[in-house]
Structure 1
Amino acid sequence: MNESQSITNNLLIEVDVLNNRLRNIRKSFKDTHNKALKERLISENKNIFKRVKEISKIAHLLNKKTNDKLNFSNLLVEITKRALNENKFESNLFFL
């Protein structure tokens, strides 16, 4: 089964956008004192993190279907893994 480079490319772009949004959420959370905004940021962070996890599962499935060592799905697996790890390490910011 050949991987769809178009779908994989779109997922790569989506993970990049989501990862940037997660960084912006963390920065905004540290800079604000508004309780309602903080609650909304926490909720948005959870939703985005959940979507990155979904994309990670898709990436692993795509990667299993290909025999090539160098491909876009392998890159997608690595990028989602890094995004998830970065968010896990800094998720303690919400509980200061």
Structure 2
Amino acid sequence: MRRALMVLWAALLLVLFMVVYGGLDQVLPNTLQEQYVANFQEDTGARNAVTGIYLDYRVFDTLFEALMLLVSVIGIIHFSVHEGEGGDRHG
């Protein structure tokens, strides 16, 4: 029940925010997007804007996301294999 109220409260605040400011496009201008689209070819040398942004501008973000996925999978495998070892500590 408490979680549902929190979600409802967050949705109400979002709607209020959009009504007061007239939408997110007016509050958050697309200047960064325009800069990327205008300069991607000179900055990255790529022919495609999506490829240039993904592989040049966001390369570290992409690498760290892949690293976090790998660490998570290794952790899940480790805890799955070693689930019963060490005795029952809670009993």
If the length of structure 2 is used for normalisation, what is the TM-score? Answer: 0.34
| Higher helix proportion (structure 1 or 2) | 1
Calculate the TM-score normalised by the size of structure 1.
Answer: 0.32
Which entry has the higher C-alpha Rg, 1 or 2? 2
